Amino acid sequence: MNTIASASLPDSVQQPRYDRSALKTRIVHFGFGAFHRAHQALLTDRVLNALGGDWGICEISLFSGDRLMSALRAQDHLYTVLEKGRDGNQAIIVGAVNECLNAKLDGMEAIIEKFCEPQVAIVSLTVTEKGYCIDPATGKLDNANARIIHDLQNPNEPHSAPGILVEALNRRRERGLLPFTVLSCDNIPDNGHVVRNAIIGMAEKRSQQLADWIREHVTFPSTMVDRIVPAATPESLREITDTLGVEDPCAISGEPFIQWVIEDNFVAGRPRWEEVGVEMVDDVMPWEQMKLRMLNGSHSFLAWLGYLAGYQHINDCMADENFYRATHRLMMQEQAPTLRVTGVDLRQYAHNLLERFSNPALQHRTWQIAMDSSQKLPQRMLESVRWHLQQEDEWPCLALGIAAWMRYVSGIDDAGNAIDIRDPLAQKIKGLVEKSSEEERVLALLSLTEIFGNDLPGNDVFVQRVSAAWEELCNKGAKQAVMNLL
Ligand code: NAI
Ligand code: CS2
């Protein structure tokens, strides 16, 4: 069969310029999803193109991905990234991946052993917010999570990402091997500390010595990651086939913009990512907050309100002047003041975000961004609300955003159509929705302390403002409610 590994590709397609046979698995990556392919793997590929070296990546997928990984193997672990700008596209063949393992194809034991190979220096993760098995309101390990319960009872046969890492580190320690750096690349505030807490929290339940060894030897740098990479669709794959002249089932499209800010704290070396524009800093938190609140907060605002209003894609929302202006207002008046990042022109940052959101080539679905929202709401909106409550000022866009989440998870859009809600808390949310009338809904959903904490549901100003926004949304619909913000 003809694949991108065997076909002769057009000259316009960028291909690896380095010796791929020199690659070893120095990075093991959890979560061969859309994002990793177009971000960390692509930037590592850029380092290899610039400097050569042996920094190969082994891709791991636990719960699905067997077909994807079979396809990846059939094309020598090469795949395509199509960068889609307003002014045209660029196809890039990424060569940094040198092997892959999948739980269904290879078994969990082979996966755990891969983490134990002596040359493995970095384990990176893009397993989505829910993959960390934490309580979103506190960032602490969720001991009631079914996978965590399983892994604590069966520590040598783990199922969760933190459980697998604890078992791998345990084996490395027993074998006298050096540890690796754990590098979370998910949109979670303080992602390094969160994954550290989850791993040490589990290790402590196994053995104090193991927990102490991890504390002493393993590092967990936090990162800020940014590139809009929508899920692949039949249309996006067809466009790539047309560009290459051959099919690539592992291909992914995304925007040209890319940013990665990393705390420079690695125990066993790293690729020289700084040579390709990655920013290595001492403290990533201000950057993460800026991105999570300005970009992701606005994305969620648009996803819930846009979906309710009947807009399928983020760029459709941007084409509505009221949505555009309300998003700018949310960014500049309600998110930017809460930030402590220095040396960034936030006005320009907001302008660039609106440009990126407007990119018609991306077709980023509002429904996709609305997925797993229970895991996203705290860091994208609620932290900012807490800041405003302390300042005793106004936050109408955030209030409407939170009410829009409530309306979205209530399951019916403004045209009366049912919404397909995907969320790890979906069952619990459904129960609360079914048991409450429209008038009782806000209070019913505020009982979710894993999202709202213990403080917000008891704060009268918070409850009153979200309730007012909810009423407006129910009575007037999303389009009118957004217009009334202006
Ligand atoms: P995706 O759905 O394409 O891939 C998610 C990957 O995580 C899959 O490989 C899946 O098997 C794995 N996964 C899902 N649940 C898991 C669990 N409970 N335990 C272990 N692995 C699990 O999603 P995509 O687009 O790759 O995004 C992943 C994450 O990357 C996002 O949630 C976000 O935190 C971060 N991110 C995504 C961006 C994007 O534009 N797509 C941009 C910036 C960050
Ligand atoms: C989006 C993000 O799906 C979502 O929740 O808000 O994945 C967003 O596309 C990225 O964070 C951009 O870097």
- Model pLDDT for residues 133-174, shown as the tens digit of each residue: 988 888 888 888 999 999 999 999 999 999 999 999 999 999
pLDDT tier for residue 322 given thresholds of 50, 70 and 90: very high
E-strand ranges in 279-428 read 279-281
Model confidence over 99-118: pLDDT tens digits? 999 999 999 999 999 999 99
Question: 228 CB under 6 A from ligand 1?
Answer: yes
**pLDDT at residue 436 greater than cutoff 90:** yes
The complex scores an ipTM of 0.99
pLDDT at 289: 96
Residue 343 CA, ligand 1 centroid: distance in Å: 30
Residue 187 CA, ligand 2 centroid: distance in Å: 8
Nearest protein CA to atom 16 of ligand 1, as residue = 131
- In degrees, to the nearest 5, what angle opens at C-alpha 335 toward C-alphas 332 and 339? 105
pLDDT tier for residue 399 given thresholds of 50, 70 and 90: very high
- Give the ligand with the smallest distance to the CA of 130: 1
Question: 260 CB under 6 A from ligand 1?
Answer: no
| Mean pLDDT, the chain, integer | 96
Nearest protein CA to atom 13 of ligand 2, as residue = 226
pLDDT at 135: 85
From CA 253, how far away is CA 287, in angstroms rounded?
A: 25
Residue whose entry in the numeric block shows the structure tokens 């990424």: 94
Q: Which ligand 1 atom is the nearest neighbour of the CA of 31? A: 9
pLDDT at 190: 92
From CA 346, how far away is CA 350, in angstroms rounded?
A: 6
Nearest protein CA to atom 18 of ligand 1, as residue = 131
Q: Please compute Rg for the chain using Cα positions.
A: 23
Sheet containing 97-102: which strands, arranged edge to edge? Answer: 97-102, 55-61, 24-30, 122-125, 181-184
Question: 291 CB under 6 A from ligand 1?
Answer: no
From CA 224, how far away is CA 258, in angstroms rounded?
A: 11
Residue 92 CA, ligand 1 centroid: distance in Å: 21
